[in-house]
Amino acid sequence: MAPPTAPGGRPAAEVVHVSLGHGTIDDACRRRRAEITERVRGHRPGDPLPHVAYTGDEHALWRRVMSELNRVHPATACARYLRAAERLPLPAGRVPSLTEVSGDLHGHTGFRLLPAADLVPAREFYAAFAEGRFSSTLYLRCPAVPLYSPDPDVLHELVGHAVMLSDPLFAELYRLFGTTVRRVRSPAALEAISKVFWFTMETGLVHERGAPRAYGAALLSSAGELESIGRVALRPFSIPDMIRQPYDIYRYQPTLFVADSVEALTKSLREFLAEQH
């Protein structure tokens, strides 16, 4: 939807700092998030990426979530994601630094990761794709909700977006979103682009191996939501329907759109983005 967006760019109809789908962020989690965010504030492209010394509990949380994701991905992730995860392997036992992942990613598709200190306006977030830049949060989800994070945490950014950005075709699609947003002036067009991004690059599914498989970053970073796909409304891929469909980023999505193939998805997105002004 329209800006502003959540950190790392999940579109949102309004700014929500502390709301979680299953409650509110506890005080300890809020303090840690603020501490990490403060380390990032003021960073400019070209500056060295900030280093976060993650705690033992945070590394343990990363291990727990990665264990669950590695268990469910073979049966729920699309083939391109599974190949990309081999191309850009993330450590299972610790939270990796943004520097190491960004360096590996740049070697594959030219994309780099930038730290996001706070909410990133939609136009700024998407437009950066045109230059091969993706804004990433550095804090982890709260331990109370390990298998789903409505706010885009570093696990979502790296497991979901960074891995998919190592795939040349998906990197090209992100760049197309970026160049399109730089071109458009209409708030309505920006809102339409944002909704299409949400229902594709965040929560998109594609038919593969006889079943819907995830390519969207929000799904790929949520073991809980991946395992709920069979219980939600699955609709045929339709950009006009996506633009009309309401959504709430702070809950599991009740409606998801399934493309017939990656090729069909790519064709539809290119045509839609070329028409935006």
Per-residue pLDDT tens over the stretch 266-276: 999 999 999 99
Token duo for residue 92: 């299972």
Token duo for residue 90: 């993330």
84 in Cβ contact with 163 (< 8 Å): yes
pLDDT score at 12: 38
Residue 6 has pLDDT above 90, yes or no: no
Q: What residues contact 122, with CB distance under 8 A and at least 6 apart?
A: 2, 3, 4, 5, 9, 11, 181, 190, 194
C-alpha distances out from residue 175 to 25, 77, 111, 196, Å: 33, 22, 9, 15
Most confident of 5-19, 209-223, 240-254: 209-223
pLDDT score at 145: 80
Q: 115: which strand partners?
A: 136
Catalytic residue among 135, 157, 161, 222: 161
pLDDT score at 3: 33
**How far is it, in rounded angstroms, from Cα 143 to Cα 62?**
10
156 noted as active-site residue: yes
pLDDT score at 44: 86
106 noted as active-site residue: no
Closest to 174 (Cα-Cα) out of 99, 77, 275, 270: 270
141 in Cβ contact with 133 (< 8 Å): no
The residue-averaged pLDDT of 167-180 equals 98
Rg, the chain, Cα only: 17
pLDDT score at 24: 56
Catalytic residue among 135, 149, 221, 222: 221
Catalytic residue among 156, 157, 208, 222: 156
Residue 118 has pLDDT above 80, yes or no: no
pLDDT band at 242 (very low <50, low <70, confident <90, very high): very high
Say whether domain 7-15+26-274 belongs to CATH 1.10.800.10: yes
- DSSP, collapsed to helix, strand or coil, labels residue 174 as helix
The residue-averaged pLDDT of 190-204 equals 97
The residue-averaged pLDDT of 44-62 equals 93
Q: Token match 């504030």: residue? A: 41
**How far is it, in rounded angstroms, from Cα 80 to Cα 82?**
5
Token duo for residue 102: 């960004």
Catalytic residue among 202, 207, 208, 222: 202
Token duo for residue 108: 């594959």
Residue 23 has pLDDT above 60, yes or no: no
Among 150-159, 228-237, 257-266, which is the least confidently predicted range?
150-159
43 noted as active-site residue: no
**How far is it, in rounded angstroms, from Cα 82 to Cα 66?**
14
Residue 10 has pLDDT above 50, yes or no: no
- DSSP, collapsed to helix, strand or coil, labels residue 208 as strand
221 noted as active-site residue: yes
Degrees (nearest 5) of the Cα angle 139, 144, 145? 75
